[in-house]
Amino acid sequence: MKPSDTIVRIFRGSITESIHRVHLAVVNAGGMLLHQAGDPQLLTFARSTAKLIQALPVIESGAADHFGLTDAEIALCCASHNGEAEHVSTAQGILGKLGYHHEHLQCGAHEPYHAPTAQAMRERGESPSTLHNNCSGKHSGMLALSAHLGASPDTYMSIQHPIQQLMLDAVCAMTGVPKPQMQLGIDGCGVPVFGMSIDQLALAFARLGRPDELPQVRANACQRIVDAVRKYPQFLAGSDRFDTRLIEVTKGRIIGKMGAEGIFAITIPEQGLGFVLKIEDGNVRALYPAVIEALKQLSLLSESEVGELASYHTPTIHNWQRTEVGIIRPDFQL
């Protein structure tokens, strides 16, 4: 291993038991690569980080205003939420405004991410519905856009559906990736997912927070999404989740969104920066330690903020007896 390698170590006792490699790109709204680690042109899928960009057409089309979506509901459209009661009721509220119900959601059902909520449901003998799916807010927003356009809700997940084409157009415009070159796949919730290099995704997040050079309708939509997530960080993720805590600790100065397979995207509006970090092997346990360490080294988090996020920065590893047996520690210098 070279000294320049950007890694996160998994320690058990004094031995490095596992290593996760890190790739990083920090870009300004003009597209300039300011900081990098590993391969800033690494091709990967944006996964759930794209939700903040996918929400743009919901606002730009007039669907959000037509159905009277609140800031909390807009934040939930961007979320990978915990499935807590407030998340479920808010998704249900969006659907109610459309005259729809949870069976219109095609995202599938899974237990809430929030362990106490999942346990309480099991004790009540209650099965999770599509509303508990972490993507139910995004899918509700998609249905709102579909209803506003007068399109069928039955095929809203297809890439040929007009709402998916609008979302593809938005992602292409924000990332600078020409539409024929955008790599497409299917996300965990069944809708299209977008493949690009991490510096292109970072550009999208830089533009999201500093949309000065974008058309006015899009700039207004970007600002509305940023404002909504700042105001309701608990709707972006939820209790004991890093995305929510990062916004709370920085008082909205930094807005970050995780995605499956170890990707994290950040906008820092006041500095016009987009930041994307990818764990090469996709293991999420290394993600938040690496994000905090990189933000710290780039002087984007203060020492006191790093202290408040310490449980995510260097988390301990416990065995089944809850004995501490190891630690996860970032080990790199940018």
> Is there a domain that residue 1 lies in?
no
pLDDT in tens, 160-217: 999 999 999 999 999 999 999 999 999 999 999 999 999 999 999 999 999 999 999 9
> Is there a domain that residue 67 lies in?
yes
> Is there a domain that residue 254 lies in?
yes
Rounded Cα distance, 172 and 293, in Å:
30
Q: Is the separation of the CB atoms in 192 and 42 below 8 Å?
A: no
Rounded Cα distance, 148 and 96, in Å:
14
The pLDDT confidence band at residue 2, using thresholds 50, 70 and 90, is very low
| Structural domain harbouring 132 | 7-331
Rounded Cα distance, 191 and 170, in Å:
15
> Is there a domain that residue 89 lies in?
yes
Give CA torsion, residues 203, 205, 209, 211, to 10 deg: 50
Give kind and range of the element (H or E) at residue 318.
Answer: strand 316-318
> Is there a domain that residue 185 lies in?
yes
237-244 contacts at long range (C-beta below 8 A, 24 or more positions apart): 237/79, 237/80, 237/81, 237/82, 238/81, 238/82, 238/83, 238/84, 238/87, 238/113, 238/114, 239/82, 239/84, 239/114, 240/114, 241/82, 241/113, 242/288, 242/291, 242/309, 242/312, 243/80
Taking alpha carbons only, the member of 233, 308, 238, 230 closest to residue 269 is 230
pLDDT in tens, 50-102: 999 999 999 999 999 999 999 999 999 999 999 999 999 999 999 999 999 99
Helices 136-149 & 85-98 angle (0-180, nearest 10): 10
Number of domains in the chain: 1
pLDDT in tens, 308-330: 999 999 999 999 999 999 999 99
> Is there a domain that residue 2 lies in?
no
pLDDT in tens, 116-136: 999 999 999 999 999 999 999
Rounded Cα distance, 243 and 266, in Å:
10
For residue 48, the domain's CATH number is 3.40.710
> Is there a domain that residue 226 lies in?
yes
> Is there a domain that residue 227 lies in?
yes
pTM of the model: 0.96
